[in-house]
Every structure is written in structure tokens, then in C-alpha cells.
DNA sequence: GCGAGATCTGCGGATTCCGCAGTCTTGGCG
DNA sequence: CGCCAAGACTGCGGAATCCGCAGATCTCGC
């Protein structure tokens, strides 16, 4: 343990440029903070500070900013299938016309918890969480396929979740 | 606000049965606690207690238990594409023979952060996070397709993450 | 050279976390 | 039917943490 990321505090720190998609640039210290919180979202600021070489207050300010910017969120995650939602599925969507607007429409549906635009035989992948079969059927057939511009969909009903990690930063 | 889930504290509470897959049964109070932590993973125990009608200590014990049991995890989540990982993809896998063992093998790969067994034209869906194209190519062609029992794969490279929520409990 | 803006540090004071002892309820068993 | 063990909740203090704020530092641009 005790990785000690030394803050080079000069060129790197001040770098507040934004990349093309509007997401802020992250320096090594912020990445290290995120890494700490990927291991344990409730880790005290002081402990994080010791690990990344910053004061408690500085860590607190950075974390707050990362949350405000939407770069990261600290939340409880579960397997929906173990928490009362009995049907979950990934839906591949093919679109004609504006992909972005369809993605937007999917984003607005509360049953859809994950939307990503992809390259490949689907234009969009969307993960759906439902109460039961009827609900799932309704969302896919009545709501998604009804969107103007949706050419076709293909569904993959979840049988069992095997892995769900967020610690890519720590490998 | 202030939903006040009254603990019926009799039949419901004591229910420690396990469902078929080994995951413990969750009562209404635990679900309410999870819901609180889905909104904010750092919310103080006292505040959660007020919302669900329990003492601070009781909430703390329940949360600890949920974490120990693996029912939920409190972590920071980000969009990998904004945090230095330049290639991400969903891979659909078709298997001949034992699906479970292939899923297990995928689970053991550090680049794979999400594995789910499905019904549909794929047996398994796996989400991959990589540094760059070479890395992604290596994982898919050299590692996944090399697994004995993998009949075929299809990849969907991520272009843009549009939505990522964990608040299904609060809709 | 100098001011604006952003970040970091170093404080208290309020709040929260944490362990523990005691109470209450349930379920098993002789 | 009585008793005991297990599990869950409450209340309570002491330690640790969170939080806001003032001041110091650094960078950048004019």
C-alpha cells in the first residue's frame, strides 16, 4: 500500500483544459483520488489525502468538484436481480437518421439505466431494468420500437450477473 | 421527501431466508437504505436512519452487513473514456459446452469489468475496458477467442456513453 | 510588476463514526 | 410451558471525521 503519488504541482496541476467532448482534463492526483474511492466510496478524506499526498481539505475540495462536474459519482451499486427487479435485458438498437436523438430519448426512460452509442452491428446498446416480463415487453415493444427512427432491435435477457467491478483504476 | 418507511418489525424483519441463488432476502427497510445510498453513497447514517425510521447504529449495522454479504457495494463510478481509458467495448460471446466456465474465465480477466449470462443470440455479454486499440485487439483476439469452448464473438466498440444511473430504486 | 483566479494548508467547532453494554423479540428445545 | 441462545435495535460516550473559512502560494495574462 501507500502508493504516494507525488503532486508535481506545476505544469500538471493547473491544467484545466477541456477535451473535445466537454469533459475536463484530469491530472494524476485526481485519478489517484478516484482510484481510492473506487476501492471504498466511504473512505475518509484524511486517509485519501495521506495516500495521494494532499491535505484533507484539498481532497475534500477536489472530490466535491469531481462530483459537481459529473466526472464521478459515489453511489451504492447492486445486482438489480437480487433487489426485486426480476427482468433485466440489454437491447441492441439500429437507427436510421439521427442516432443522437434516439439515444437521448432512451436516456429519458426511467427503466433504462445505461445507454451507449457504439460502432458495430448496433448503433446503440441500452440496458433495461424491469419489474417483470410484462413490464419488459412493454418497454421494448411499445416504447422503444415506437420511437421514430428506430429500424430494429434485438434483446438479450439477463440470466445471471457474474461480475460487476469499478476498480479498473487499481490493476 | 421524508418517505418514512415504517418497520413492521414482526413477520417481515426476522426473515433471513435465502432465495435459490444464495442471495439473502431483503426486507423493505434494507431496500429503503439502499435507495438512500443510491442517491448519495456518502450520506450520513443518521440522515438515513431518519428517512427509514431506524437509529443511527441500526443503519450502520445493516449497511455493514449488506456490504459484507456482497449485496451492495459503495464505490465511485466514472465514465472510463473520460479517465484515460481510450477504448471500451461490449463483446457478445457464443459458447459450445459449459457456459458457466467460460463466464468464469472472463470474470478472471482484469480488463473485463462486467460479465452477464444472457438468453438470446449471445450466451454471454462482457464489457471490456482497455488502454488503446492494441490492448483491445489483444484481449479480444488473443485472450477471449482463445478460450476453449468459445465458438464466436462479436464486438461493439463504445463511441460515447450517454447514461449511467444506479437510482432505479428511486423512480 | 501586479492583480485575478484557482488551489492548497491549517485551523477550530459541529457533526459523524464507532464500539459496547443493555433491551427486546423470536425460535428452538427439553 | 419455561428457559436459553441468537439476532436486531437503542442509547451513549469518546474518538475520528467533516466542514467552512481565512490566509498563503502559485500561475497566468496584461
Tell me: pLDDT of A98 over 90: yes
Task: Determine, for residues B72 and A78 on separate chains, whether the beta-carbon distance falls below 8 Å.
Answer: yes
Q: Nearest Cβ partner of B41 from A26, A74, A162? A: A74
Q: What is the pLDDT of residues B62-91, one digit of tens each?
A: 999 999 999 999 999 999 988 889 999 999
Scanning every strand, the nucleotide with its C1' closest to A44's CA turns out to be D17
Q: What is the mean pLDDT of residues A63-70?
A: 96
Give A7's contacts (C-beta < 8 A, 6+ positions apart).
A13, A28, A29, A52, A53, A54
- Cα nearest neighbour of B160 on chain A: A117
Q: What angle do CA A106, A111, A112 make, to 5 degrees?
A: 40
What's residue B169's pLDDT? Answer: 79
A9 three-class SS: coil
Chain B residues with CB-CB distance to A111 below 8 A: 168
Residue B47: pLDDT band with limits 50, 70, 90:
very high
Gap from A107 CA to D2 C1', Å:
61
Looking at A7-16, A147-156, B79-88, which range is the least confident one?
Answer: A7-16
Q: What is the pLDDT of residues B1-22, one digit of tens each?
A: 333 343 333 333 344 445 555 5
- Cα nearest neighbour of B102 on chain A: A162
Which is more confident, B20 or A78? A78
What's residue A4's pLDDT? Answer: 38
Give the span between the Cα atoms of A139 and A125, in whole angstroms: 15
Instruction: Centre a 10 Å sphere on the Cβ of residue A28 and count the other Cβ atoms it contains.
Output: 15
Q: What is the pLDDT of residues B121-131, one digit of tens each?
A: 999 999 999 99
Assigned C-alpha cell, A145:
420500437
Residue A169: pLDDT band with limits 50, 70, 90:
confident
Q: 487499481: which residue's cell?
A: A170
Give the span between the Cα atoms of A122 and B157, in whole angstroms: 10
What's residue A140's pLDDT? Answer: 97
Report the number of secondary-structure helices (H) and strands (E) in chain A. Answer: 5, 5
Tell me: pLDDT of A9 over 80: no
What average pLDDT does the structure give for chain B?
Answer: 88
Q: In strand D, which positions have an atom below 7 A from any protein CB?
A: 7-12, 16-22, 26-28
Tell me: pLDDT of A5 over 70: no
Q: What is the mean pLDDT of residues A121-137?
A: 97
Q: What is the pLDDT of residues B156-169, one digit of tens each?
A: 999 999 999 998 87
Instruction: Centre a 10 Å sphere on the Cβ of residue A53 and count the other Cβ atoms it contains.
Output: 15
Is any atom of nucleic acid chain D found less than 7 Å from the CB of residue A67?
no
What's residue A66's pLDDT? Answer: 96
Assigned C-alpha cell, B81:
473514456
Q: What percent of chain A has pLDDT over 70?
A: 86
Gap from B77 CA to C19 C1', Å:
31
Q: Is A59 exposed, middle or buried (0-12, 13-18, 19+ CB in 10 A)?
A: buried
**Segments of chain B assigned E as strands:** 72-78, 87-95, 112-119, 124-130, 150-164
- Cα nearest neighbour of A69 on chain B: B78
Amino acid at each position: 500500500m501507500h502508493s504516494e503519488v507525488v503532486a508535481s504541482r506545476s505544469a500538471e496541476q493547473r491544467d484545466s483544459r477541456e477535451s473535445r467532448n466537454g469533459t475536463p482534463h484530469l491530472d494524476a492526483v485526481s485519478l489517484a483520488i478516484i482510484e481510492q474511492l473506487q476501492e471504498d466510496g466511504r473512505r475518509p478524506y484524511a486517509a485519501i489525502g495521506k495516500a495521494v499526498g494532499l491535505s484533507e481539505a484539498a481532497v475534500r475540495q477536489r472530490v466535491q468538484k469531481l462530483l459537481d462536474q459529473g466526472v464521478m459519482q459515489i453511489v451504492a451499486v447492486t445486482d438489480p436481480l437480487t433487489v426485486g427487479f426480476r427482468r433485466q435485458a440489454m437491447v441492441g438498437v439500429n437507427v436510421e437518421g439521427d442516432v443522437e436523438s434516439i439515444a437521448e430519448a432512451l436516456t429519458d426512460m426511467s427503466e433504462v439505466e445505461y445507454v451507449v452509442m457504439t460502432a458495430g452491428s448496433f448503433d446503440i446498446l441500452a440496458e433495461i431494468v424491469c419489474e417483470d416480463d410484462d413490464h419488459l415487453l412493454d418497454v421494448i415493444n411499445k416504447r422503444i420500437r415506437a420511437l421514430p427512427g428506430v429500424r430494429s432491435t434485438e434483446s438479450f435477457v439477463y440470466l445471471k450477473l457474474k461480475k460487476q467491478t469499478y476498480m479498473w483504476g487499481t490493476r
